[in-house]
Structure formats: structure tokens, C-alpha cells
Amino acid sequence: MDNLRQGSSGPAVKNLQVLLNFHLSGVASPPLVPDAIFGSKTREAVLLFQKLNQIAVDGIVGPETRSVLLSARSISSQVAMTTNDDITGSLRPVAQRANVRKGGGQMNRLLSSPFLLASNNDALPPVTQQAPPPAVVETTVVVQTGQQVNINPWFFSPFVATVQGNILLKQDGRAPFLISPGVQFFVNQVGAPSGRWSGQAFVQMGPTGLLKTGNFDLLNPFVQAFVQANASGPAGAGFAIGNQASYNLLGDKLTLFINAQAVSTTDLSTGLTSAPSAQILGGVGIDVFQLFRKK
């Protein structure tokens, strides 16, 4: 098959110009006008493409350059290609994820690419890339109650009640993400640093459902920011990281859970921050929306 060089013209040159615009987007400016004439600008683009891909820099589109033009990206979707890899074939548009080689590196892109060969010379209409599916949002209200043990300083909260709203974001290809604003009330034992009771308003978030087996939901890591009022002493604000594991009952309407977290609190009157403490909370959770939702 004939090589393409300066002075060549015709449909094959036009296809070459479109390919070069694709591979050199963001590198060469302005893009070539696909006029089917292999002029000096097209030759400059060929030279740049050859240099970036570390092949013979001669400005001629021979077998090696042609091969790299058609294979310089790895195609994740399955497509049918003819055995003839000549760029003189017509071009079939497809949407694909590709790794395009530029300057010796890899650049990952999502492409709507018109660069796969059809088996005939009929022009095919462009295909618009389908947008990713929108996120699905689910909302619930959960009431939890249980007992909390604080490791440092050591004290019990014989009664802990939590009411939180859960906003669950789901999208294909991504782990579900949970955002939970809520309030929490603690009844502490005598001698607890914060007095007989404490109350919190918090926002908690993180991926969820990362490890499920049967009714067990074991990996739900989160970060939490909160403000806290206490029966004794000043108010505080803090930050926590942790994980909640649960055993789901009644079709996820009722859960037995264990919540473990590391917490650091700042005294809002003095600005002093406490050393991180460990907290373990075990109890029962009820999904109010699901429990009382009419079938």
C-alpha cells in the first residue's frame, strides 16, 4: 500500500488529518483542517506525532506510523475491525476509554472517537457518546439506641439515643456513598468528665456496603464532624473516624450494630484539644421509613 507524504491528497489524507487532530489534541494548536491535502502543516503534525511516539521521524506515513496511529491507545470496548489496517478505509465512530501515548507518558481519557475502520468506504454518521447513568438517591431516617464505652477517659454511657437522616448516593461503577446528618443524646455514668449528660449534632459521611456477607454488613468506614454540649464544662467541637458493622434483620428494617471510632474534641472556651480517645457503641437501629412504610 502507498505511503502518504507531502504532496499526497485524497480521502486517505483527510482521514490521516482527523487522526492526527485526535492524537495531538492539547499538544498541537491549532488543529489541522481536514482538507484532504498533505501540505506543510500536515507534515509538521506527522513529525510531531512520530517524535512523541518515538518512531522514525521522517514526515512520511509508512507502515510503522500507520500502525501506531491505529494502536496508540488500548481499547476497552470490544469492536470489530477489518484485517486491512490501512487508514484509507472509512471511519466508524465508537465511544471508548483509551490510553493515548504523548511525550513518552500515558494519558487516560474518555473519548468519543471516530477512528475505527469500517469494512467499506461508505461514510457513517457520528455517534454521540452516551452519558453515564445519573446517581440514584435514597433517603431514610434511622433511630439507634445502645450503650457506649469510652476507653480514654474511661466511662460508660448507659443510654445513647441517635436520630439521623441517611442520604445514600448510588451510581454504577462506584461504591455507594452515605451522608448522615443527625443528633445524639448520651446519659453518662457518675463521674464522667462531661457530666451526667451530653448532646451532639453531627454530620457523618463515607462509603458504605463495602463488605457484605449474608445479613452481615461489615465495612462502612466514615468520618464525622460534630459539636457537643455537656452537663458539666464548656461546649466542644470534634472530629471522628471509624467504622460501623451491623447484622441486618427484618429486611434491613432492624439492625444490631457495633460502631468503633477514634475521637478528638476541642474545648470551645479554651481552644485546647484532647488526645484522641476510643469509643465503642453497640446497640439496635430501626429504619423508621422502612418499618412504617405502607406496602
Q: Average pLDDT of 152-168?
A: 88
Output the nine-digit C-alpha cell for 180.
448522615
Q: What is the pLDDT of residue 227?
A: 95
Report the distance separating Cα 231 and Cα 234, nearest Å: 9
Q: State yes or no: pLDDT of 250 exceeds 60.
A: yes
pTM as predicted: 0.54
Query: For the chain, which domains are there?
Result: 11-117 (no CATH), 136-292 (2.40.160)
156 touches 125 (CB < 8 A): no
Q: What is the pLDDT of residue 25?
A: 84
Report the distance separating Cα 203 and Cα 183, nearest Å: 9
pLDDT digits (tens, 9 = 90+) for 112-155: 333 333 333 333 344 344 555 566 787 888 899 999 998 888 88
In this predicted structure, which of 33-37, 110-114, 201-205 has the lowest mean pLDDT? Answer: 110-114
What residues contact 74, with CB distance under 8 A and at least 6 apart? 98, 99
